[in-house]
Structure formats: C-alpha cells, structure tokens
Chain A
Amino acid sequence: MTQTNRIQGGQIDRSQSLRFHFDGQPYLGHPGDTLASALLANGVRLMGRSFKYHRPRGVISAGSEEPNALVELRSGARQEPNTRATVAELFDGLSARSQNRWPSLRFDAMAINDRFSNFLTAGFYYKTFMWPAAFWEKLYEPIIRRAAGLGSLSRLEDPDTYDKGFLHCDLLIIGAGPAGLQAALTAGRSGARVILADEDFRMGGRLNAETLALGDQSGADWAAGAVAELASLANVRLLARTTILGAFDHGIYSAVERVSDHLAQPLPGRPRQTLWRIYSQRALLTAGATERPIPFENNDRPGVMLAGALRAYANRWGVAVGQRVAVFTNNDDGLRTARDLAAKGVDVVAVIDPREGGDLLPGIRHLRGAEVVDCAGRLGLTSITIRDAKGRLETLACDALGTSGGWNPNLNIASHHRSQPAWSEALAAFIPGQGGPLGLTSAGAAAGLFSTHACLVSGDASARAALESLGFTATAQALPQAEDAPVAIKPHWYVHSGKGRAWVDPQNDVTIKDIKLAHQENFAGIEHLKRYTTLGMGTDQGKTGNVIGLAVMAELTGQSIPQTGTTTYRPPYTPVALGALAGRGRGQDFKPKRLTPSHKWATEQGAVFVEVGYWLRSQWLPRAGETTWRQSVDREVLQTRKSVGICDVTTLGKIDIQGTDAGAFLDRVYANTFSTLAIGKCRYGLMLREDGMVFDDGTTARMGEHEYIMTTTTANAVNVFRHLEFCRQCLWPDLDVQLISTTEAWAQYSVAGPNARKLLQKLVDQDISNVAFPFMAAGEITVQGTRARLFRISFSGELAFEIAMPTSYGDALIRALVAAGQEFDVVVYGTETLGVLRIEKGHVAGNELNGQSTALNMGLGKMVSTKKDAIGTALSRRVGLTRDTGLRLVGVKPVDPDNSMQAGSHFLKTGAAATALNDDGWLTSTVYSPHLGHYIALGYLKNGTARIGERMRVVNLLNQTEVAVEIVSPHFIDPTGERLRA
C-alpha cells in the first residue's frame, strides 16, 4: 500500500523505508515514524476496538495519553499486548495486530454488545448476574472475563532481559520540551549534574509538532541544537525513550528506559528496558500538557481526534490524517491546527468554535457560536453534523475532525505525594498544587504556562532557583524570541444536545450518560464515580477524559470543579512491563545463593539440595542403587547412630560477642545464665521475646574472659543479630559489649555418632578424650597445624562435636573428615537426617519454635532463670502461659506401627468429635524413625506431661486422616543422655 496520506515536511527520514505489518497487511513507513503515524500515512484509521462495546476505534492522540490505538506488538514470545501505537517507534519488520476483536477488526462479532448498551451501562456488573449464586463462579465470571480485556498474553517466557540501576543528579528534569530543554541548558552550563528524561525518542516535545519559531530557527531546529549542546556536556545525561514513572521519598524517582524497544530485538547482552531509580537533589517537572476533547454524540468514531494531534501528525510526521478536515475547538490553540493544515494544503472544511464573537480565521470557514452535535461513519469518519449559532443543523463531509477542549497540564508526578491540584479558571484546567514531592517544582506547560516564551522563561528561572538552593551559581540565560500568545478559552465540557452517547473515556466505553447514571444512583463522589463507571481505569488512566468526567459531575451536583476534586494520582505515570520491575531477578537469578563450604564436595557426590533462605543445603546424599529419598535418609540416620555421620552446620548463625560486660549482656538477652559459664565451656541458651515467647535457641561458648561465641538457628541468624544490636545500642548503651557476625567466616561441621571422637582424633592435633574435652567443652584447636575450633555439643543425641575452621578450609575439611572416616564407614548427612535425629532425641526446632510457644510449652520452663531478669522473663510468667493445662511438648507414636502421621494433625480424645472445642493440641513434627522402625512425632498437647501413656487420636481434617496414637516421652532415644556424654 502506498502512503496516500503522506505530505511534505516532518522529521522523518524519507531516504529510508521501513517495512511493517498490521493485521497481516504490509505497509511502508520511515525512520522517525511511530506505528500510528505510519498507519495514518497509509490511510489506516481503524486500529482497535473498545473494551466493552467493541466499537471501532482509531487513534486520537500523538502521545502516551492514547486510549484507543492499542495493539499487540511483535509475535511469539516477544508479543506485547496493549501497546500504544502512538509511542511504538517504527522499525523494519515490525509486526502488529489489532486486539479485542473476533474474527477481524473490521467485522467484530462481539460488537453485538453495542446493541445491548442499555443493559451494559455503568455499574451493570454490580446489578446483574446476582442469581442463581452458583452461576457466578462457573458461568458468569468466565464469560465476562473472556469478553473483557484487551490484548492477550503469549504465555511464553519473555526471551529478553531487563536491567535495573541507580542514577544520581543535582537536578532531574522531567520532560524535554521547551521548558525542559531550556532548564537543562541553564543547569548544564552551570556545571550541575543534570538528568533530562523524556518519554519520546526525539526530544523537543511540542517544538517538534509546531511550526512556531524560536529566534530565527524553527522550534524543532532549536530543540535539536539544544539537545546537541546538552549531549556535549559531560555533566548532563540525556535519557530519551525514558518515562519518569513516579515520585517517591527523599527525591527518588523511578524511570523506565526503553533501551531496545525500537529494535526488532535487543543487541546481544543489552537489556530490553532498564528500570532506573534516580536520586535527585532537586527535580523539575516540565512534562508539558495533554489536550482534551469535547465529547459529542458518537465522538468515538475513527477519524475524530485531538486537534493538537492532527497538527502533530502533519508537522512532525508529514501526515495529513484526512483529505477533508474539520476542527472543533473552544480555544485559540485549536485554531493553530486549522491554520497549519490549511498551510500544508489540506482542505479545512470548517472550524467549529462554540465561542461567540471574536476574530475569524482568514481564508477558512470559521463558525463562531457553533458546535458539532453528531458524526457518521462506522469504521471511519465520513461526516459531521454541526449546529450553527442560529441553531441550524448542517452536515459536512469530512474524514478527520480535530477537537480541542483545552489543555491539561501533566501534573501527575507533582501530585504523587497526595498534593491536591489547584484549579485555574483562566486555563479551565488543574495546575500543580502545593505540598507535592519535596524538592520538585514545575515549569512550562506542566505548570500551566502554555506559551513558548513562558516555557523558556520558566524553565530557565526554575532551573536557576533549584540550583541556587543547592549552592550553584547559575546565571540567567539569553533566551530566544518566541511566541507569547495568551490562553484564550471558554470552557465547553461537552455538547449537551442529542440523545445518543458521547464518549468521555473511549477505551473503557464511559459516556456522559454513564456519568449521569452514576450521579442518579448517588455515586457522585469523584472516587466513587471512577470505580462505578470505570472512568479513567484503562491503560491510559484517563489522561484525556478524567477532567471532563469530573466537570460533568460538577455540573450535575452543582458544585464547582475544584470542589468536586480529582481522583488520586499514583505511579506509574504510564504502564510499565512487569519484566522491567523484575529486572534480572528471575529464574536462577531471582535471589542470591549462599553456598556452604561443603557445596563443591556435595555437588560432586550428587547431593540433593534444599533452599534454606538463600542457603543451599544438602537435603540428602543418595548413593548408587537408592531410588527414593527415604532409602538415603534411613541409611544416613542408621549409620550415624551406628558409627558416625557428618553434617554441614555452617548455616547456623555465629555472633562474636566481646567486651567486659559480655557476660552480663548475655544474661539479659538469654533466659538462662551465661555469666557463670566457665571459660572453655558452652551452654544451651534460650532467648525470649519481650512477650515471653521463645525467640531463638542455640549454644553459646565462652572462649575467654570477655569473649563469647553465640550460635543461632539458621532461620534467625539475621534476626538475632539485629535484636542484639538493638539491645546493645538502645537498651543498654552503658554496657561494654561489641558484636560482629562471623557466620560467613567459619565452616562448621557436626560429627556425630559413637565413632565421632575416633574420627576427629585422627585430624585434631590436641587430645579430645572425654577427660580432656568433656561434654559441653569448647576450645581453640588445630587441625593438621591449621587453627580451628571444637565444640562438644550434640543435636542428635549421640556423642557429637562441632568442628569449625576458617571457611577457606571448609572444602578441605569435609574431604579430610570423609577420608579419615572411611574406616568407620562414615556418612555425610543432610537436613532430612538432621531432622530425623533431632526428633528422635526430642530437640525442638523451627516447627516448635513457631513464635507462639513458651519455654514451658517446650518442656524447657526451668531454663527461665528465677535468679535474674532477662528479656521476656516477666511476661513468660503470665497466668495464661503457666497453667498446668497448657500445651506441653510430648512424643507421639502410632498404636499400629504401620501407620504414618502428618504434622499439623490435631489431638483428640478417643471418641471426641473433631471440633475446635475438643482440640487438645497438634503434631508439630513427624518423621519415620528407621532406628525405631515406625513413625514418630513431636507435638504440643494440653497438659501433655501428665498424659504420657494416654491413647488418643490425631486427626487431619484437610487430608481426611485419623490415626490412633500413644503419648510418650519426647525423648525417643537415650533419654538419660548417656550417649552424648560418652
């Protein structure tokens, strides 16, 4: 197809042609085109269908505010729905499809909805589909979901990457129109660090869309010159194709840079988009303004556009949208469109101007006191009906209509901190109000200063004010001469006549009638109006329609527009891809990995790993011939109890605690006493929260007079350290205590089992006999001459040690331990076996340390010292927590040893109904004990200690299981502790 609507001029490179497809049809465009401009150049006005009624839709704007021309861009895994054709930069090979239609764009069967528009008015889904209730989930909702929506997802993984990053500047300038460019020149020449961001691929804003001159240059040329100078300044960073999405605290702004969207696919290694977090000292909003239409009957037809967009397509892209064009405007800016188009040889059939009196445009049929009341052309505008000042109706043939109801400053970013916009009667528009983001000011059209001269002056002055507040010396710049026309507007929010529908939000099919209905049904508050009608809830967030909607509501309620107010402005300013928010953090890179010192060795052994926070821990280590995890775990458990097993316990938190008050400090943070602990010994410690619940447990060793090493659970390593720092800094700053984490610094392995000592003695240079190194001993040692630490502690109930070496030796140590253990047929075990061993021994872990349990619940009540005060001690003695009938830790075994049990099952007396009233507690941990040959469990049972020997049921209503059990001691093996003291 030839570019039938292409006219002379514009900022496109006609020396090159770009091939592209829309709905399978091939077209040609040029570098510098958007998809919309290229389609319009090719005579394509129909680009989409509306959300609800599936009405034909054409482009109405030339920017990011576009509500209508939404397409699916690209194909396959790169398919991107709801892309605005007005900002999609044309590239060779671009492929786009219309969306929300079936079977074709021209004939959409779902347009039948339009026939039922009387039933599909505002809030129809709140009033219908009420019965039968069962139909909602299975019938109504699926149908509505299928009918609604716009573009579709490919459901394929996005093949591109996205980056995140951080930028810093003295002054962030948001928008590169005349105000933004001048501000950047002023600031850049002063030496300040400046970031100038603009969502367009060509900086210049409306200067590129107008024929107005700056000095002796065209606006576009002046903009190009300014950009060139700014690009030469090392202290200025130009971010084209970059949208500032929102303002956050402390001068931070988010921005998405579309690095590769203008290419068929990103260059190797380069991201598709980058999400920037910009740290600014000051920010200047120069984002320009958005034109609004004047709704009239059937104003949603393809070919009815914003007047400024018609002008932009002609001046910037060399496209005459129609051969016969009309303009409907209530302000002088709309007259520019008629003048510019006429100057380019386009047939301007009429300018319809509802304002009475005033000058008439020379050489153009300028109808004062008139308005457009209807139009025709289902798939594209063919004519408009006007009513002149005397009330006479006239039909004018035309294929494009530009409407202008005035311009709304783009104040979104200035309003992101709940600043209320201020109403300007002179502009008939909201301007940025007080109380916006600290450090942000507005200039140019975004501040309601619409002339080019005013934009330049305010950009220069605002930049200087911002810089001077930062201590820079910024001199006033010589500004080029530019037009300084005043704003001349008479509000004309919509055309009152006609019984048909006039669209306010064309994407969501919200009409004047809908707003009236919302008012009639008392959804008159502006936030209610939005949600009841869906006004402004589309991808465009109502950039063209919202102010009209609230003006209509103001008229209905009799309030002023500022009294009616606006809805809340929130980020993002325009839609942002979830991929950009995720950045590189997806798949394997979703979160960092922490590798244990034995990871390399374990990988060589074929270990199965489990994520524990960021850590990857060996879960079990299968051997040849083992086909299920249970086989591996059973072997590891039995061999550990029979001979010796090794487990990497590096992940436990380690905190170095030093200072002359270290012992006193520990006495205050632990429920039990540590100041009396002998040097060279360690002790199990229980840490409570202020409310008396158990926070964490672990062992702490005293390595010197004023030096302790605390271990925490893996899960609470960071939380405990943070808690201790809070205590040290805020609760007891008078104590001499210093803390630092050493979790990463030491590789630590548990060596457990009857042969643990024999194995270790082969490597440790010192005597570790029971006499020299008794139960709960701790000390500095050497392993083949290299420094290490040894702790005689046991989580398994066996004779056990934990040996630690500097992490760099962790790999060598596991290999040395395994080699030394060969004669004992040593096993290395993972977290599953760790769990089995501790449950067999009756030790509590994460399932029992659930944040709702006390030391008494765990059978550790005596550990809460009565001889001293500590965090949580007082509240652990609350009456409600100390009743004999409270929960107590018990062991559980099935009456029938062939039965299994499930954690989370609840205790019930035999014969009691499974109700909350009869609930006696629950199973916290269950495992199969290969040592005992049946399942065992730990649980919290009401008055459990006194119920040893009782038979009960454990019931799991979720899984529909019920097992008869016997309550036993939680210590399934070696209840007297002979093994661990051996």
Chain B
Amino acid sequence: MLEALTPLGLTEPQTVTIGRFTIIERGDVALASLATRRTRQADVSACAAKAGIPLPAPGRHATGTLAAFWLAPQMWMIEVPFAQADIRADLLAIFGDAASITEQTDAWVRFDLSAPDLIPLLERLSNFDLGRATEGTATRSVIDHLGCYLIKHGPCDITLYGPRSSAQTLHHALSVAANSLL
C-alpha cells in the first residue's frame, strides 16, 4: 500500500504556532475545479442548486452541502471533506456533461491561519486588503512570487491555498513573517 505524504513532505499535516499566529496545514479537504461548458449555465446552476452546492459570485466563498469559491467566470473550486471523496466522480455524477471537472486536490497546499488579528501578518505577505474584506471574500493573490488563493472566513480565520510544490517556501514565508511580529 502506497503511503501519501502531505505537501510539507511528512506523513501527518503540521500545525505551528508562532506567537499569536497559528499555521495549520490541512490535509482533509479535497478539491476539484468546476467549469461550466458553453451554453450550459442553466444546467449547471440547476444541478448545483439541487445538490446544495453553492456557486458564489466573483470574489466570494460560500458553504452549502459542499463549499466552493470563485476562480474565473463560470469556474469554481469545490471543496469536499477528504474522507468522502472521490471528488471528481461525485461531481460528475451531479453535473454530468454540463461541466468540465478536474481534480485539483494534490495541486495545492492548504494552510489555515488563525490569530486574534491577522492583518499584521497578511500585510507582510500579500496585497490582500484583509481589513476591508468581508467574511466570505475569496481572492487570488501573490505571496513570495507564488500565486495563491486567500479566503477570509472571519476576522481571525483565513484559508490560504498555494502551489503544492512550493509548500515549504510558502510555509517558510508565513513563519518568517510571524516571527518578525513576535
């Protein structure tokens, strides 16, 4: 039986606390992109509504039976608890040929960040205006030259998706920024 490693290269996800900042590597969420096929918006909307899958507006993240955030026009990333995934097969069963679905689980590293105030950390990493962003904001940004997605769940709670191959670089950047605020 082959054993999977986390993006940080270990068998179990890592949690690091630096001062008031906690960086949690998440390994329990599967991802797939969902892109509407041409002229099939109504079908995709109907299928999503029936399944309780949100298809949030640009710049937004939403949670229903599954969670999703916006990637591009008529394109979303679907988040599924890992334990119940074969995510692509599950989504194909819901959307059929109305959408193009691509598994993205292993393309990303996910870090959940928490702290009483995350602005000092984020302002050293990204041009994301966390102070102005409302809960449920999802945006693409660049951290340390790496294209990332940032999702604001609450004032103290952010999800960060970055390219998996650079997981260590990204974690290093987060750690250095947190250490500079001790």
Contacts and interface: CB of A to CB of B under 8 A. Distances in A.
Given A163-B124, A193-B131, A277-B127, A738 B100 contact: yes
Contacts of B38: 659-661, 734-736
Given A166-B127, A784-B1, A785-B1, A738 B105 contact: no
Given A165-B124, A166-B123, A595-B165, A738 B37 contact: yes
B96 interface: no
Contacts of B36: 738
B165 A744 contact: yes
Contacts of B3: 812
A279 B5 contact: no
Given A271-B180, A615-B165, A736-B37, A807 B2 contact: no
B1 A592 contact: no
A592 B146 contact: yes
B163 A594 contact: yes
Given A592-B146, A596-B165, A816-B2, A744 B108 contact: yes
A600 B165 CA distance: 12
Given A658-B102, A783-B2, A806-B106, A279 B37 contact: no
A593 interface: yes
Given A271-B180, A277-B127, A659-B38, A742 B107 contact: yes
A743 B169 CA distance: 18
Contact of A168 (B103, B131, B176): B131
Interface string A574-617: 00000000001000010111111001100000000000001100
A916 to B, nearest CB: 41
Contacts of A745: 103-107, 164
Given A163-B124, A270-B180, A659-B37, A807 B107 contact: yes
A808 B102 contact: no
A742 B127 contact: no
B106 A807 contact: yes
Contacts of A661: 38
A165 B123 contact: yes
A745 B9 CA distance: 15
Contacts of A735: 38
B15 interface: no
A656 interface: yes
A143 interface: no
Nearest to B109: A744
B104 A740 contact: yes
A277 B123 CA distance: 10
Interface string B132-153: 1000000000001110000000
B149 to A, nearest CB: 13
A132 interface: no
A813 interface: yes
Contacts of A785: 1
B166 interface: yes
A589 B172 contact: yes
A171 to B, nearest CB: 14
B4 interface: yes
A92 interface: no
B105 A806 contact: yes
Contacts of A783: 2
Nearest to B126: A166
A168 B146 contact: no
A786 interface: yes
A735 B37 CA distance: 10
Contact of B5 (A269, A808, A816): A808
Interface in A179-215: 193
Interface in B80-116: 97, 100, 102-108
B4 A659 contact: no
Given A659-B37, A808-B5, A279 B106 contact: no
Nearest to A745: B107
A396 to B, nearest CB: 55
Q: Give the interface residue-count category, chain B.
A: 35 or more
B169 A592 contact: yes
Nearest to B104: A745
Which of A269, A783, A786 neighbours the largest number of chain B CB atoms within 10 Å of its CB? Answer: A269
Interface in A721-743: 734-736, 738, 740-743
Nearest to B101: A658
A811 interface: yes
A714 to B, nearest CB: 12
Contacts of B100: 656, 658-659, 706-707, 738
Contacts of B159: none
B102 A740 contact: yes
Nearest to A650: B165
B6 interface: yes
A746 interface: yes
Which of A595, A743, A783, A809 neighbours the largest number of chain B CB atoms within 10 Å of its CB? Answer: A595
A807 B9 CA distance: 11
Contacts of A417: none
B1 A591 contact: no
A742 B165 CA distance: 12
A205 to B, nearest CB: 26
A164 interface: yes
A739 to B, nearest CB: 8
A744 B104 CA distance: 9
A269 B128 CA distance: 23
A682 to B, nearest CB: 18
Given A592-B146, A783-B2, A744 B107 contact: yes
A717 to B, nearest CB: 12
Given A784-B1, A808-B5, A740 B169 contact: no
Which of A592, A706, A783, A810 neighbours the largest number of chain B CB atoms within 10 Å of its CB? Answer: A592
Contacts of A784: 1-2
13 contacts: A279-B127, A615-B165, A659-B38, A735-B38, A738-B100, A740-B35, A742-B103, A744-B107, A807-B164, A808-B5, A809-B2, A810-B5, A812-B2
Given A592-B146, A738-B35, A745-B105, 12 more contacts: A168-B131, A595-B166, A656-B100, A660-B38, A736-B39, A738-B36, A738-B37, A738-B75, A744-B163, A745-B104, A806-B106, A807-B164
Pairs of residues from A and B, 4 with the lowest C-beta to C-beta distance, nearest first: A658-B100, A736-B38, A745-B107, A738-B35
Interface of B: 1-7, 9, 33, 35-39, 75, 97, 100, 102-108, 123-129, 131-132, 144-146, 163-170, 172-173, 176-177, 179-182
Interface of A: 161, 163-168, 193, 268-271, 274, 277, 279, 584, 589, 591-596, 599-600, 614-615, 650, 656, 658-661, 706-707, 734-736, 738, 740-746, 783-786, 805-813, 816
